[in-house]
Amino acid sequence: MQPREKQIFKVTLTGTVTNAVLIVLKFLAGFLGRSSAMVADAVHSLSDFVSDVIVLVFVKISGKPTDRSHEYGHGKFETLATLIIGVILFGAGVGLGVEGVIKVMASLRGDLPPRPAMIALVIALISIVVKEWLYRYTIRWGRTLNSKAVSANAWHHRSDAISSVGTLAGIAGAMFLGDKMRILDPIAAIVVSIFIIKSGYDIIKPCIDELLEASLPESQQKRILDLVKSVDGIRSVHKLRTRRIGNNIAVDLHAQMDGSQSLRSAHDKATSAERLLKREFGHDTIVNIHMEPSE
């Protein structure tokens, strides 16, 4: 396993162990503290745990070197893992929202939930602190390692922290504001679910674009053209095609040069352009330059 994949594994394993502990605490607090909101929060943490396991499995695959079956590498396995995390997050948000609506309707009919116990309030507070720390730790490494899967997992931790804030508010309202205010618990769950659904969508959209071979943003394409045209002797560039493969990009283009020069001279210019692109976008950038004589 490469150093990058080792660090991703370490960061994700930290989240996995932390989530496992929180899941146990939340389920215990939910059942012993008579809090359906805490049980729902435990289910959300369980989705975090599942996403951690997915990242651990797929990062090992994506870090494999190229082979005959995958000559462009295994980078899209990490994209697939990120997509699965987004779908889990989206599904968890929908589930929490539906459950919240059902409980609000039941409360309006007079079927109030039981008053939660103090243990539920304490665990909700602990969960917020721990998950916010885990978010900050994970997002820092996600950006350092340029890993979409780790960054997506970090936002999953943040969504769980937000969910726990809603849980804390609902539990506190049900405990201290009287019986009628127990409805705050499911209302808070609905509000939190909207944020979770939005986070899931924001993760899913770019993954689908990549898996469907969407081109890089126009700003990056312009940068590619500018870099290649900056090479002395390359007169114009056309037929640019780009795509993302995991954390790397692939670039195909046609470069027009003086047709009277030697093949070695033209090749040297193409190599210079390739080096510029790899310096800009990373050593593992895949560059294919077709040389054409200019008229």
For residue 274, the domain's CATH number is: 3.30.70.1350
Q: Do 32 and 149 reside in the same domain of the chain? A: yes
Q: Is the pLDDT of residue 130 over 90?
A: yes
Residue where the block lists tokens 């999953």 = 156
Q: Is the pLDDT of residue 145 over 80?
A: yes
Task: Among 195, 211, 227, give the residue marking a domain's end.
Answer: 211
Q: Is the pLDDT of residue 202 over 60?
A: yes
Check residue 92 and give its pLDDT: 82
Report the relative pairing of strands 234-245 and 248-258 from DSSP bridges: antiparallel
Residues 6+ apart with CB under 8 A from 199: 89, 93, 155, 156, 158, 159
Check residue 206 and give its pLDDT: 83
Q: Do 187 and 227 reside in the same domain of the chain? A: no
Within a 10 A sphere around the Cβ of 206, how many other Cβ atoms?
17
The mean predicted confidence, pLDDT, of the chain is 84
Q: Is the pLDDT of residue 240 over 70?
A: yes
The CA-atom distances, in angstroms, between 134 and each of 29, 102, 154, 280 are 21, 31, 7, 31
Q: Is the pLDDT of residue 2 over 80?
A: no
For 121, the domain range is 3-211
Q: Is the pLDDT of residue 71 over 60?
A: no
CA dist., res. 43 & res. 164, Å (int): 11
Task: Among 180, 196, 211, give the residue marking a domain's end.
Answer: 211
Q: What is the pTM of this model?
A: 0.65
When divided into structural domains, the chain yields a total of 2
CA dist., res. 125 & res. 149, Å (int): 27
Check residue 107 and give its pLDDT: 85
Residue 63: pLDDT band by 50, 70, 90 thresholds?
A: low
Collapsing DSSP to helix, strand or coil, 239 comes out as strand
Q: Do 148 and 34 reside in the same domain of the chain? A: yes
What single string gives the DSSP state of each residue in 15-83?
Answer: HHHHHHHHHHHHHHHHHHTT-HHHHHHHHHHHHHHHHHHHHHHHHHHHTSPP-SS-TT-SHHHHHHHHH
* Mean pLDDT within 14-31: 91
Residue 65: pLDDT band by 50, 70, 90 thresholds?
A: low
Greatest mean pLDDT among 62-76, 96-110, 195-209, 252-266 lies in 252-266
CA dist., res. 12 & res. 149, Å (int): 10
Task: Among 211, 245, 280, give the residue marking a domain's end.
Answer: 211
